[in-house]
Structure 1
Amino acid sequence: MERAGEEGREEKLCKRCQQMYSPSSNDSSSCRFHPSFFVCRRHDDQKRYYELGPNDPPYAAKFYDCCGAEDPEASGCTTSFHVSYDDD
């Protein structure tokens, strides 16, 4: 998906962070994203990133598999270049 920017430049949609960006200003820290999925399963016993609430089952938690963040809206844990849907 491309659309004209304010100055007539083409902007693209990043498939990692879902933000519009200008290819001319894309650099190695432009995109912030999670490289893994938000999952619902038991954490590895050696890595307890979460606190169970009083009504939570003792066997499952929801978190990003890459960094352990429990908020699905958490800011990405990795930065890199934006990647367009056209870049395949």
Structure 2
Amino acid sequence: MIICRRCKESYKPSLNNSSACRFHPSFFVCRRHDDQKRYYELGPDDPPYAAKFYDCCGAEEPEAPGCTTNFHVSYDDA
């Protein structure tokens, strides 16, 4: 078995196909709603209108299922 560097799941190369891996192609970000431009990590003094979400699809939960599918990619792949 091989570990996918995108989704961190183990897979068999013989079963790898274009919909085998589900992942987010972008980062889980923090963005202020007032200007929609600044990205930063939320701190204890940040205002309540700051939000965290995946930049690719808008999902607000860090554990949300990926919004994109593709082949698994191993750590050995360049």
TM range (shorter): 0.7 to 0.9
Alpha-carbon offset, residue 34 of structure 1: 0.2
Q: Which has the larger radius of gyration?
A: 1
Kindly report structure 1 stretches of 4+ aligned residues shifted beyond 6 Å: none
**Distance in 2 of aligned mates of 1:67 and 1:25:** 27
TM-align CA RMSD: 1.6
Alpha-carbon offset, residue 42 of structure 1: 2.4
Partner of 1:86, secondary structure, is coil
Q: Which TM-score applies when normalising by structure 1?
A: 0.71
Pick aligned residue for 1:36 from 3, 26, 51: 26
Structure 2 unmatched ranges of 5 or more: 37-46
User: 1:57 and 2:48 equivalent?
Assistant: yes
Alpha-carbon offset, residue 37 of structure 1: 0.5
**Distance in 1 of aligned mates of 2:29 and 2:59:** 10
Alpha-carbon offset, residue 57 of structure 1: 1.4
Pick aligned residue for 1:69 from 17, 41, 59: 59
Identical residues among aligned pairs (%)? 73
Structure 1 unmatched ranges of 5 or more: 1-10, 45-55
